[in-house]
Amino acid sequence: MGQAEAARTALGRGILGWTNDPKIKETYLTYDRTLLVNDSRQKEAKKPHCHGARARFQKSYR
């Protein structure tokens, strides 16, 4: 869904930039804020000597 949401945001911003109508901006913001504002969350980086960002090697005594 990342590319689809990015396309929605691009289309919403394009329409808003083309028309410069404050009514459209208010309508978009009341309907769905992600039409104009991107989601700022990003992937957490993988740490050294681990399987992933949070996963650790399982300790074994045998």
What is the per-residue pLDDT for 23?
94
The pTM score is: 0.62
H-assigned helices in the chain: 2-19, 22-31
What is the structure's pLDDT at 1?
65
Summarised one tens digit per residue, pLDDT across range 33-42 is 888 988 888 8
Share of the chain above pLDDT 70, in %: 98
DSSP letter, residue 8: H
Residue 58's pLDDT band (cuts 50, 70, 90): confident
What was the pLDDT predicted at 19? 94
Measured CA to CA, the distance from residue 50 to residue 13 in angstroms comes to 40
Q: How far apart (Å, rounded) are the C-alpha atoms in residues 29 and 26?
A: 5
Residues 6+ apart with CB under 8 A from 40: none
